[in-house]
Amino acid sequence: MLYIPAIIIGWLLDLLLGDPAWLPHPVVAFGRWISFCEHRLNHGRRMVKGALVAVASIAAVFAVAWFILYRCLPVEGLCSAPGTPAFWRAVAGQLLSAILIFFCLAGRTLRHEVREVFLALDRSLDDGRRQVARIVGRDTAGLSPQEVRTAALETLAENLSDGVVAPLFWLALLGVPGMLAYKMVNTLDSMIGYRTERYRQFGCWAAHIDDIANYVPARITAVLILVAYRIMSLTGRLSCTMTAEPHPSTPEGLVTFTLRYGPAHASPNSGWPEAALAAVLDCRFGGTHDYFGQAVEKPFIGTNPRQLSTDDMRLSVGIALTAEAICVAATLLASCLVAGGIMAL
């Protein structure tokens, strides 16, 4: 699994391009497939059908990617002599892997969308509500300015895990096929993993698989947020994002806060990155929100109901980018260790 060039190229492409609307995206295809299955199978024995759709979809994505990258275009062929057919197949495999890694990362788009929410809210509350509706699942028509800002930053924390750390985690563990399979898991959960009347049974397995797939990455994300904040504090980068001094929390206090509120969320995973970001911002996330017309109660994360500002957005976006860079570096290190092991064989 010599993915080192592919990881670098894929990440740089995401940093430069994000997710251009004109570019065909595999996640869109995943979504259409899930929607097709849901409309035709979400009746009768819903839980059984939903389980079959989830497991079969994830397995199919992994199997197809594995066959292409390990049988048709094996990247291990880079160890072959330059100019040989095996070498050129490996080069093609690297380029395809880089493109797929680019598609699986959502760091730039996530940061851009969160910035746009705050800029839209500066224009008007209606603009802010419409903008935040692009990145959250909750009903946004009745949100206050504070709730719009909170929703955006909660999404930044949660999707730093779902859109950056978790894909890189599964890339390091199972290669590009594992990364793509994770994106199918995440897409299934985002479309049918709700506890509403329509999806409660059909999306049950999708939601549980997503919980398992994100268990370790969510906790890694919380650590990365705290580490990124510490790095920004030590290097003076906080002064570039904040017009006022941040609250004087100690590293021990931030860890204690995260450990306290991380498990408090209704989700077994979302609370950890949200708690870490709430810790460094000294704010409060959570509360009751409407999803598809139904009120869903979420425990509060934190106790300080202070008003969030554009400074908080700048700090959060800086933390997200720093955490992403650390995670990419760790993934490259893991790939180097794997590559070293292969070369030694």
Residue 85 — pLDDT band, cuts 50, 70, 90? confident
Considering only residues 59 and 142, tell me which one the structure prediction assigns the higher pLDDT.
59
Q: If you average pLDDT over every residue of the chain, what do you get?
A: 90
- Helix, strand, coil shares of the chain, percent, nearest 5, are 75, 5, 25
C-alpha to C-alpha distance for 108 and 287, rounded to whole angstroms: 28
**Inter-residue contact 216 to 204 (CB < 8 Å):** no
The whole-number average pLDDT for the span 304-328 is: 95
Task: Pull the structure tokens for residue 296.
Answer: 């869903």
Give the predicted TM-score (pTM) of the model: 0.92
pLDDT, one tens digit per residue, over 61-76 is 999 999 999 899 887 7
Q: Quick check: 343 pLDDT over 50?
A: no
Whether the pLDDT of residue 46 is over 80: the answer is yes
Q: Please give the residue that has the higher pLDDT: either 259 or 137.
A: 259
Bridge partners for 291 per DSSP: 294
Cβ-defined contacts of 340-343 (< 8 Å, 24+): 342/1, 342/2, 342/76, 342/79, 343/79
Write down how long the chain is.
345
Q: C-alpha distances in angstroms, 331 versus 3, 77, 79? A: 10, 21, 21
Chain segment 7-26, per-residue pLDDT in tens: 999 999 999 999 887 788 89
Residue given tokens 């650390």 in the structure block: 326
pLDDT at 158 over 70: yes
Given this model, what pLDDT does residue 243 score?
Answer: 54
Mean pLDDT, range 186-209, rounded to an integer:
92
